Structure 1
Amino acid sequence: MRLQKQKLFQAVYGFSLILGFCHHLVPQIGVLHLRDIGVSESTPGPIMVNLATYVGTSQAGFIGAMIATFAVVLPSFLIMLAVTAVLPKVIKNKYVQAALRGIK
């Protein structure tokens, strides 16, 4: 049951992103069209990565696709890298342990 709820949340989140693009970014910027969003979502993968890759390709070819994809992925990667570096020190804190027990 939990997995079904998680998948439902992911689907709703993805569709809300697409609706946000359709209503706000597409008319104002003029770079994307509704058909572009549909084409980018027809390929497998995360919604934002697909869209960034598609827009990058349409605007600047292969180099644009690489830059746009890295621009979407890099912040999350750097945050996870920082968390991984700090986690062994923080996990020993008694307050963090108490919070994790409470969450569990």
Structure 2
Amino acid sequence: MLKLRPLVLVPLALVLLAGCGHAPMTEKSVEEKASEEMGKQIGIAPVVDCPDDLESRQGASMHCTLSDPNGSDKKYSMTVRVVSLKNGVAKLDFALDDEQD
């Protein structure tokens, strides 16, 4: 069963795929990075489901859902936020939301 400890914001840098422009970060890449980073924090990589691609601009955010990879029905809400963009690299913060399903 997935047991989540209270987490603080977890920064993570993602390399954007666009050269000159700021193409959105794909839904799949955000889900993979979120699962990897949250897995480091809680000891098991959760299944992460995000609704769409994430805009590559400072302040952009979206809510994603975490679930247990072992099949528990418990779901957790998480916010992914772009805190900065520098030289084509986005720094992201992942934070569990207060209200859980």
TM-score where L is the length of structure 2: 0.28
TM-score (norm 1): 0.27
Choose 1 or 2 for highest CA Rg: 1
Question: Larger % of helix: which?
Answer: 1
More strand by share: 2
Say which structure, 1 or 2, has more relative contact order (CA 8 Å, 6+ apart): 2
